[in-house]
Structure 1
Amino acid sequence: MTAGPPSTPPAERATDGQHAGRGGRLTLWGVAIIIIAVSVFGDHQQPDSTPQASRSPGSSTALTDTQRGARPLPRSAPIRLLIPSISVDAPFTSLSVSDTGQLEPPPAADTNLVGWYAKGVTPGEVGAAIIAGHVDTATSAAVFAELYELRPGDRFSVDRADGRKAEFVVDDTETFPKDDFPDTRVYADTERPEVRLITCAGDYDHSVKDYTENLVVFAHLV
């Protein structure tokens, strides 16, 4: 795939190495997948853009108004993430890519903090906004410690700098091995406003100082 202009955000790997003080950063994979790719969103089991968990046997292929999502919002920085079902009420910090091509994780000193990829779309814009948070640190559990509890149909919201609240509904929650992460499915461009909540999961491998899996929550604006 041909890379876009310098201002086009690259597609970053999900949160690697959440343990502060034990090494590891967010790994960058590929270039410009998020913005310049106009592709079908799906994995090997699901050929269309409807997440598997949101479909039922015999359901129509026509999208309902809820599946299509709400009218997109203009660009505006996120201020606060609210997930009532797992007691998340956390401010945002912006995340950027380092000179080594790695997405910097949120500072580990603050366990109640989430980050968003500032050169990508903002939550509520058309596209897949990337929100990352630690599952734990070297000292305690962190903001996304209970992210695994989210289920299709659960709702969360993002307070934005323009005073609007962007509300999202969960489509699917999946865990992927880090050595077989579906970059295109997670980071490809989308035709509606969507969000990916990403954290580490699986076992902690002390030999490489990293978790073995990533947990990804797929959601869209309603």
Structure 2
Amino acid sequence: MPLSSSPVQRLALGGAAVATLSGLLLIWFGVSGMIFDGSSSPAAARSPAPTNIPRRLPSLTEPADVLLRTFAQPMKKSVPQAVYIPRIGVAAPLMQLGLDARGAIENPPLEPANIAGWYRHGPSPGQRGPAVITGHLDTRSGPAVFARLDRVRRGDQIQVMRSDGSVAVFVVDKRERVSKKDFPTARVYGDVDYPGLRLVTCGGVFDRAAHSYKGNTIVYAHLVRAYHPPG
């Protein structure tokens, strides 16, 4: 939904405070090495998305139950260019998101609708740790990139095209819908010893008074394959 001018609600949890605005997670870091110093601005921190991405990437042919038991070795850091979710027809360029003046993760713009954002101060998709990608559920005029994220299922594949020419393929472990009041900060942002991926958007009931959704939809996945497309 469109951004609201009303104050965002903060929630202290596990040493960090989190909030949501227009269905996207905002997080204030209170841990060593991730403290925002107030010097960044949205214009400086947010980088534009690439253009002319492929419309689709090939999916792995192994059965879902095999992929769920497969864990690939971590990849080197590389800026992600696009995210693909075959189950729901997503093929979206990725922009880089930094921190705004309050130390919160920036929102991708509402337009164009088919764009998502990667939090560039965290792991890149394929690296060890939880890479985080956010996207809007809808805009002022219609559905946005993650409008059907709640249809993703355990065992589905997610592909991320990276700037080094590689593709990181993930398999979905689970999907959950949570209240913004009980956002699982530790599960989304907590350190893991494998290459993980988290997709976050808004969900649940729309609160007209607050001009935002009351919940979030979160998808958790792990890396199963890394490859370089031919050519």
TM-score band w.r.t. shorter chain? 0.7 to 0.9
- Residue identity in the other structure for 1:164: S
Gaps of 5+ in 1: 1-9, 19-24, 36-63
**In the alignment, which of 80, 97, 100 is matched to residue 99 of structure 2?**
97
Between the aligned partners of 1:83 and 1:65, the Cα distance in structure 2 is: 16
Normalised by the length of structure 2, the TM-score is 0.72
Gaps of 5+ in 2: 1-14, 35-65, 225-231
Q: Of Structure 1 and Structure 2, which has the larger fraction of its residues in strand?
A: 2
User: Does structure 1 residue 31 correspond to structure 2 residue 11?
Assistant: no
2:21 — aligned with what?
16
Are the structure 2 counterparts of residues 65 and 109 from structure 1 closer, same or farther at C-alpha, using a change threshold of 3 Å?
Answer: closer
| Displacement of 1:31 | 2.2
2:41 — aligned with what?
none
1:195 — aligned with what?
197
| Displacement of 1:27 | 2.4
Are the structure 2 counterparts of residues 147 and 123 from structure 1 closer, same or farther at C-alpha, using a change threshold of 3 Å?
Answer: same
- Residue identity in the other structure for 1:83: I
Contact 1:122–1:129, Cα closer than 8 Å, also in 2: yes
Contact 1:124–1:193, Cα closer than 8 Å, also in 2: yes
Between the aligned partners of 2:120 and 2:209, the Cα distance in structure 1 is: 32
Between the aligned partners of 1:126 and 1:174, the Cα distance in structure 2 is: 22
- Residue identity in the other structure for 2:83: L
Q: Secondary structure at the match of 2:21?
A: coil
| Displacement of 1:152 | 0.5
2:57 — aligned with what?
none
1:86 — aligned with what?
88
% identity of equivalent residues: 41
Contact 2:67–2:171, Cα closer than 8 Å, also in 1: no
**Cα RMSD after superposing both structures:** 2.5
**In the alignment, which of 158, 161, 169 is matched to residue 159 of structure 1?**
161
1:150 — aligned with what?
152
Q: Figure out how many residues of one structure are paired with residues of the other and give that number.
A: 180
Q: Secondary structure at the match of 1:184?
A: helix
Normalised by the length of structure 1, the TM-score is 0.75
Q: Deviations over 1:48-83 (max 9, x none)?
A: xxxxxxxxxxxxxxxx98546101100000011111
Contact 1:11–1:187, Cα closer than 8 Å, also in 2: no
Between the aligned partners of 1:102 and 1:114, the Cα distance in structure 2 is: 17
Contact 1:14–1:198, Cα closer than 8 Å, also in 2: no
Contact 1:175–1:216, Cα closer than 8 Å, also in 2: yes
> 1:1-222 residue pairs with structure 2 within 5 A?
13=18, 16-18=21-23, 26-32=25-31, 66-67=68-69, 69-222=71-224
